[in-house]
A = this chain, B = another copy of it.
Amino acid sequence: MNYDLILSKIKPTEEEVVQNKKIASEIIDFLNLICKEEKIPGEALLVGSVAKETFLTGKSDIDIFISFPLDTPTSYLKEKGLYLGYKASEKFNGKASEHYASHPYLTSEIEGFKIDFVPCYKIANSSQIKSAVDRTILHTKYITENISEKQKDEVILLKKFMSETKTYGSEYKVGGFAGYLCELLILKYNTFENLLKEVSNWKYGTVIDLESFGTSKLFKDPLITIDPTDKNRNVAAALRLETLSDFIISARNYLNSSDNEKTLYFDELNKNISLNEIKSQFIQRESKTFIINFKTPDVVSDSLHPQLKKTVDSISEKLEREEFSLFKSDYWTDEEEIAIFIFEMEVYRLNNIKIHYGPKIFAKKACEQFENAHGKDKCYPLNDFLVLNVERQFKTFNEFINFILTSENSHIIKIGKNIKDNLINSYELLDLDEYLNNYPINDNFINFLDDFLNPGQYLKR
């Protein structure tokens, strides 16, 4: 397979690379000048995919790190980091906004480019790490020193393939492959296609150890990729098993495709969704589907998503424990105003009565205690157990939800701490149908429902 045509569409032009590097270099020079003038012991440098020349066309994030000596107080580093960012943003007429990762950093839009200003410590090796971002400089150095021009193209192919199969990105929402991990995979297997051939045969716990550190036994993850800059770190630690599975399946599907089909993997999946189509698919499944709609709290994406996931998983587990039967549940959020839980039920309504099992008949003492606790007149033997009929606490899905989503009872489930108040105070429980017919539905949500109905659709063409 010849990838030239595909690369011509997804690889940044030489001009685009030069433009990115030029503006980065101007800003870095300015920052270093300020540091010198104001006796700030910081040193600005370019890191990330622009430095490594492994970004997709039109998708450059210019990451400028400002590194400080190891003995710099953290408060000083934070303060000067923001100060320098604002200074540069001002100088280049940028539009700045503050963000928070492990500590605050500034993002500015300058001449159409998105620039991140991130303060960090200047470390020589991983043992000196003081903040989570510090190792980025080591990573950038390792890749630029080891990657060939040809391999940069292969990384770009891999990143695009992963973007379109929804396996790219280490943020919690995806749980997928970080850019650095993509680069290491290409360093290991040299080409995109060779990597996919290897991936199609991967087993649980496959080890990639470029520097032969021999430390893979430290990890139990589905994929183990030892960081060449830190033998005690698995670069793939945050890769979710589901996303790894998706990548393996998409690799197999890709390798079994014709060249024509293969090119489609580098384009956005062609979807043709209408709300009516979605509705009719749900009707065909004959499942009762419920929506819990509530206000999303003002927290960052990487904190919001795990909290939503944890909450919907906990409700799902408790539903099953109450003998409702769930086909599938999920969450969605626009990350600004709305968060939604969706529950597609196999069984959402139960009879009124169930059997509560006590001890074995032969255990006399235990039987006496059970009878005293539940009333002797109600207990009876069933096979060789003492049992009684009890009324179900929850006969319908609605009864259950309206019970647990109250301040008195919400301790029964695990709720993300930032969403708890919003969920309890603002939730609305509706049939999916009712929701779709009466609430404003945006395209993003329709797309989510389409994905809910058609899992795995991104993994094939």
Residues of A within 8 A of B (CB): 200-204, 222, 241-242, 244-246, 248-249, 252-253, 284-288, 323, 325, 327, 344-347, 350-355, 360-362, 364, 367, 376-377, 379-384, 386, 395, 455-457, 459-460
Residue contact A351 to B323, C-beta cutoff 8 Å? no
In the complex, the chain B residue whose C-beta lies closest to that of A454 is: B380
Between-chain CB contacts (< 8 Å), 26 pairs: A241-B384, A242-B381, A242-B384, A245-B361, A248-B362, A249-B386, A252-B364, A252-B367, A284-B352, A285-B353, A286-B352, A286-B353, A286-B395, A287-B353, A323-B325, A344-B351, A346-B350, A347-B347, A377-B460, A379-B456, A380-B456, A380-B457, A380-B459, A381-B456, A381-B459, A382-B455
Give the residue of B287, B347, B354, B381 whose beta carbon is less than 8 angstroms from that of A245. Answer: B381
Copies of the protein in its oligomer: 2
Contacts of A245 in B (CB 8 A): 361, 381, 383-384
Q: What CA separation (Å) do A39 and B360 show in the bound complex?
A: 59
User: Which residues of chain B come closer than 8 Å to A351, judged between CB atoms?
Assistant: 285-288, 327, 344-347
Residues of chain B within 8 A (CB-CB) of A361 are 245, 248-249
Kindly state the separation between the CA atoms of A347 and B284 in the bound complex, as whole angstroms. Answer: 20
Q: A458's closest neighbor in chain B, by CB?
A: B380
Nearest CB in chain B: distance from A234 CB, A:
18
User: In the complex, what distance in Å separates the CA atom of A395 from the CA atom of B367?
Assistant: 40
User: A244–B327 Cα gap in the complex (Å)?
Assistant: 41
Given contacts A249-B381, A285-B352, A384-B242, contact A347 B325 (CB under 8 A): yes
Contact A241 B383 (CB under 8 A): yes
Measured in the bound complex, the distance between the Cα atoms of B203 and A384 in whole Å is: 11
Chain B residues contacting A344 (CB-CB under 8 Å) are 351
Given contacts A285-B351, A287-B352, A459-B381, contact A362 B202 (CB under 8 A): yes
